[in-house]
A = this chain, B = another copy of it.
Amino acid sequence: MSTSYAPPVQRLVAELSKLPGVGNRTAQRLAFHILRASAEDAASLAEAIREVKEKIGLCELCFNLTDEARCRICQDPRREQELICVVEEPSDVIPMERTHEYHGVYHVLGGALSPIDGIDPDDLKIAELLARVVSAQLSVREVVLATNPTTTGEATALHIAEELRGRAPDVKVTRLASGLPVGSDLEYADEVTLGKAFAGRRAV
């Protein structure tokens, strides 16, 4: 932003630039939109940002985002408490919910193991997951490891699978299938995905 702009505008552009995927040009465009918007709209946005930081915390059971002690999914009596889907981030719950195929509960780790970034099992909600499964062992039927199909996500899934095998051998531990995305083209599939798709091939 040109230094000929007033400090409050420069400040807003700087703050907006910190958002993911928002470069300087986009931040300027957003700032000019906010400047053109009504005072009420701008106040609503500012208030929504404040409110979300003030009211939203982590569910005491699954560590998903919530504005109460327990999240809506954990509180929902229609959800199967015997089925736990383990994901890395609260944002990973959304795509799972969008499938409308999953009716169990969640456990949000808060990230994935990555020794290179200094993220050890203690930095994630792994102990809490083990405690949750062990303490309720009679009722937990299956743990679905839905960490990302990345190096760190796979390492996290493997680590949790091993821990669970040791402490709760009766609980079934599964992993989301890797393979070709629906609607994709073999021609453009990367070799790792195609390899996984081949290894995981099923009888028709």
User: In whole angstroms, how far apart are the Cα atoms of A73 and B2 in the complex?
Assistant: 11
A165 beta carbon closer than 8 Å to chain B = no
User: In whole angstroms, how far apart are the Cα atoms of A54 and B5 in the complex?
Assistant: 16
Chain B residues with Cβ below 8 Å from A31 are 52
- The interface-forming segment of A41-49, A121-129, A172-180, A193-201 is A41-49
A20 beta carbon closer than 8 Å to chain B = yes
A53 beta carbon closer than 8 Å to chain B = yes
**Which residues of A1-52 are within 8 A (CB) of B?**
1-9, 11-12, 14-16, 18-22, 26, 28-35, 37, 39, 41-52
Count this chain's copies in the assembly: 2
Is the beta-carbon distance between A2 and B53 smaller than 8 angstroms?
A: no
- The interface-forming segment of A61-69, A131-139, A141-149, A181-189 is A61-69
Point out the residue from B30, B33, B37, B52 that lies within 8 Å of A9, measured CB to CB: B52
Is the beta-carbon distance between B52 and A35 smaller than 8 angstroms?
A: yes
Tier of interface size on chain A: 35 or more
A191 beta carbon closer than 8 Å to chain B = no
Is the beta-carbon distance between B41 and A8 smaller than 8 angstroms?
A: no
Chain B residues with Cβ below 8 Å from A7 are 67
Is the beta-carbon distance between A34 and B49 smaller than 8 angstroms?
A: yes
Is the beta-carbon distance between B56 and A50 smaller than 8 angstroms?
A: no
A80 beta carbon closer than 8 Å to chain B = no
A202 beta carbon closer than 8 Å to chain B = no
25 pairs, CB–CB < 8 Å, chain A vs chain B = A5-B65, A6-B56, A8-B48, A8-B54, A8-B67, A9-B52, A9-B56, A9-B67, A11-B51, A11-B52, A12-B48, A12-B49, A14-B48, A15-B44, A15-B49, A16-B45, A19-B30, A21-B29, A28-B94, A32-B91, A34-B52, A35-B56, A35-B65, A35-B90, A42-B50
Smallest CB-CB A-B distances: 6 pairs: A6-B67, A46-B49, A12-B48, A15-B48, A46-B46, A2-B97
Since A2-B97, A9-B65, A22-B30 are in contact, a sample of 9 more A-B pairs with Cβ atoms closer than 8 Å, ordered by chain A residue number, is: A2-B94, A4-B93, A7-B67, A11-B48, A15-B48, A20-B29, A29-B91, A34-B52, A43-B50
